[in-house]
A and B are shown apart, each in its own frame.
Chain A
Amino acid sequence: MKRGFGFYASIYRKILIQDLKSKMSYRADFIISTFGMIMTNLSGFLTFMILFHNFPSINGWDYDHMLFLYGFSLIALTPVQCFFDNNWNLRFMVRSGDFIKYCFRPINVFFYFISEVFDVKGIGQFIFGLSTFVYAWCRIGIPVTFVTIAEAVLFLITASLFMIAIMNASAATCFWIINSGYVMVIMFRFKDFAKYPASIFNAVFKFIFTFVIPIAFVAYYPSLIFVTPDNVPLLTWLSPLIGAAFFYLSYKFWMLGVRRYDFTGS
């Protein structure tokens, strides 16, 4: 392979460095956006607090465990925010015909498109999520061993794949339908429910949120490994594989859209 993993990693790193350099020159935008990101997280946290101000527990999950789930979901949602944010621009590019520029280079179109934007604001969310996660981890009293930490890292990465897959797939709908913005907005709102235990749903919806719009994997299934260590369902152990599958399928769907798109937008 002339252009293998090493090639793509080095290109991504170079684009990232250049991108960060140029972002520093737009300080006002950087500050306002970071402020906006903090506001969103704060608002989400306030909603959470208000909920628990009125109700002591949800479906057997008490405050600490819910907080754990909340922190887990925030971390798992960071990669989609940081690395895959350009998906939000896809529909504008496709509509205006500007998307065509990604098709002339001898590199993977998806990579080329996604590499163009790195969203620094996601880091704020990551720090917020991590603090919540660590705080809840201590409150619950999960042992700190090599195994638990390795598990946490593995399952956090796994969990992030699901949201990436959801957003890839919903962004790619713009190749078929005109106002795919709504699809993205709706899907993005679903992520707000990732922080609740999937056990609250009935069988049909549990199935939907597990296999169709897999938000139950963003926090619920992976976190069971820490919450109920004696009774971990098979789906949790399988989630790395399922996550990879979802990511791969969403990528294929995205690329199918590129092929199918007739570029008459010019």
Chain B
Amino acid sequence: MTNIRKLTALTRAGIIEALQFRLGTIVTLLGNLIYLALVYYLWKAIYASSGMDVVNGMTFYDTMIYLVLATAMFNLLEVFVIWDMSRSIQSGEIIMHLLKPMRYRLYTFWSYSGSHVISFFLTFLPTFVLVFIITKGAIPLGMNLVYFVLSLILALMINYNVEMLVAPICLYTESTWGVNIVKETIVLLLSGATIPLSFFPEGIRKVVEYLPFRAIYDIPLSILLGKAGKSSIGSVGGCLCIQIFWIVLLSIFGNLFWNRAVKKITVNGG
């Protein structure tokens, strides 16, 4: 078992590093504000044109909260594991990582944890408060917040595991950009980050339900909005279980793939 203090040291270092990106933080926040405005006006116009208050069980405010927080989550969840790994493979640095007394997968995860913490407080939380004010309290305040944070952490782990599952492909092809864009497009569309899953046509939605991607954006946001089976403990628990199931499954496959890939590195010498 890896020493927990070693891991929190990584988190701390990550926090300090993220804080030094001071202007970057402010810019991200500002960018999110503008993005929020874009989403607001677009969907306001869409709902106004439709002449209905509720479309597919989503009100304008629901959609608004969903999409804006999905964007904030996108910033929060964003890791560059694929890029990092491909760069360290090309420079041969990967060998140094393998020599470290900590497993690469774990090391990377905890290195990113610091920036996740910072990003949560500096961009996600302000965005959340802002959206709460703008939508005049359309977000229910109760136990759903606790479940949401829990689900968010699980989402983070799923996202990381997806990334880790895809990243070793860089060992077999030099196409970092290509691999990354394919992954990102699939995740963003099928997780409901660009458009809420409830707007999807019935057939596609059925398929998407059985994929891991919806556990990244759709489940946490549905829990927050109280749409996960009317927020009863049972179905929320069910959602969390689905998330945990995907974490386990993805990390098993990720580990298998990673171990195979490492063998390739050690055989070829980087």
Q: Could you say which interface size class chain A belongs to?
A: 35 or more
> How many cross-chain pairs have Cβ atoms below 8 Å apart between A and B?
125
Task: Say how far A196's CB is from chain B's closest CB, in angstroms.
Answer: 6
Task: Indicate if the CB atoms of B42 and A196 lie closer than 8 Å.
Answer: yes
Contact B24 A200 (CB under 8 A): no
Q: Is the CB of A58 closer than 8 A to any CB of chain B?
A: yes
Residues of B close to A35: CB separation below 8 A: 178, 182
Interface residues of B in 185-220 (CB under 8 A from A): 185-186, 188-189, 194-195, 199-201
Report A-chain residues with C-beta under 8 Å of the C-beta of B46: 51, 55, 58
Contact present for B189 and A47 (CB under 8 Å): yes
Interface check A39, CB cutoff 8 A? yes
A55-B49, A59-B49, A205-B37 known; A32 vs B179 contact (CB < 8 Å): yes
> Which residue in chain B gives the minimum CB-CB distance to A29?
B175
Q: In this assembly, does B248 line the interface, its C-beta being within 8 Å of a C-beta of chain A? A: no
CB of B31 within 8 A of CB of A36, answer no
Bitwise, A166-192 to B at CB < 8 A (1) or not (0) is 000000010011111111001101100
Of the candidates A47, A55, A176, A186, which one forms a contact with B35 in the assembled complex, judged by CB atoms under 8 Å apart?
Answer: A186
Indicate if the CB atoms of B195 and A29 lie closer than 8 Å.
Answer: no
A56 near B195 (CB under 8 angstroms)? no
Note all chain A residues with C-beta closer than 8 A to B149: none
- B188: chain A residues at CB < 8 Å are 43
A36/B35 in contact, CB under 8 A: no
Question: In this complex, what residue of B is CB-closest to A200?
Answer: B45
The distance from the CB of A37 to the nearest CB of chain B, in whole angstroms, is 7
A233 to B181, CA, bound (A): 38
The residues in A between 6 and 63 inclusive whose CB is less than 8 angstroms from any CB of B are 26, 28-37, 39-40, 43, 46-47, 50-51, 53-60
Query: A37 near B21 (CB under 8 angstroms)?
Result: no
Judged by a CB distance under 8 angstroms, whether A238 is at the interface is no
- A32, B173: Cβ atoms closer than 8 Å: yes
With A39-B186, A177-B23 given, is the CB distance from A29 to B45 under 8 Å? no
Contacting pair B23 A55 (CB below 8 A): no
Q: Which residues of A contact B2 (CB under 8 A)?
A: none
Q: Which residue of B lies closest to A196 (CB)?
A: B42
Residues in chain A near residue B3, CB distance under 8 A: none
- Does A179 contact B49, Cβ atoms closer than 8 Å? no
Determine if A32 and B182 form an interchain contact, defined as CB atoms under 8 angstroms apart. Answer: yes
Interface of A is mostly: helix
Are the CB atoms of B177 and A179 closer together than 8 Å? no
* A179 and B189 contact, Cβ closer than 8 Å, known pairs A32-B182, A33-B177, A200-B44: no
In the complex, whether B133 has a CB less than 8 A from a CB of chain A is: no
Q: Select one of B32, B180, B201 contacting A50, CB under 8 A.
A: B201
Q: Are A176 and B23 in contact (CB under 8 A)?
A: yes
With both chains docked as a complex, state the minimum distance between the C-beta of A120 and any C-beta of chain B, in angstroms. Answer: 12
User: What per-residue 1/0 map shows which CB atoms of A185-229 lie under 8 Å from chain B?
Assistant: 011011001001000111001001100010000000000000000
Q: Distance in Å from the Cβ of B251 to the closest Cβ of chain A?
A: 25
**Complex Cα gap A51–B38 (Å):** 16
Q: CB distance B42 to A28 under 8 Å? A: no
Distance of A160 Cα from B53 Cα, bound (Å): 37
- Give Cα distance in the complex from A183 to B25, angstroms: 10
Among A26, A51, A59, the residue within 8 A (CB) of B195 is A51
Which among A30, A179, A190 is the interface contact of B21 at CB below 8 angstroms? A179
Residue in B closest to A85 when the chains form the complex, CB atoms: B177
A40 B200 Cβ-Cβ under 8 A: no
- The answer to whether A213 touches B178, judged by C-beta atoms less than 8 angstroms apart, is no
Is the beta-carbon distance between A54 and B178 smaller than 8 angstroms?
no
Distance from A94 Cβ to chain B, minimum over Cβ atoms (Å): 14
Q: Which 4 A-B residue pairings sit nearest by Cβ, starting from the closest?
A: A32-B178, A186-B31, A33-B178, A200-B45
- B residues with a Cβ closer than 8 A to A are 20-21, 23-24, 27-28, 31-32, 34-35, 37-38, 41-42, 44-46, 48-50, 55-56, 75, 173-175, 177-182, 185-186, 188-189, 194-195, 199-201
Given contacts A58-B49, A178-B24, A186-B34, 15 further A-B contacts (CB under 8 A): A29-B178, A32-B173, A43-B186, A47-B189, A55-B49, A57-B49, A59-B49, A173-B27, A179-B24, A180-B27, A182-B31, A182-B75, A183-B27, A196-B42, A208-B34
Interfacial residues, chain A to chain B (CB-CB below 8 A): 26, 28-37, 39-40, 43, 46-47, 50-51, 53-60, 173, 176-183, 186-187, 189-190, 193, 196, 200-202, 205, 208-209, 213
Q: What are 25 A-B contacts with C-beta separation under 8 Å?
A: A26-B175, A29-B174, A30-B175, A31-B178, A32-B182, A34-B178, A39-B181, A39-B182, A39-B186, A43-B188, A43-B194, A46-B189, A47-B189, A47-B195, A50-B200, A53-B199, A53-B201, A54-B56, A59-B45, A176-B23, A177-B23, A177-B27, A178-B24, A187-B31, A201-B41
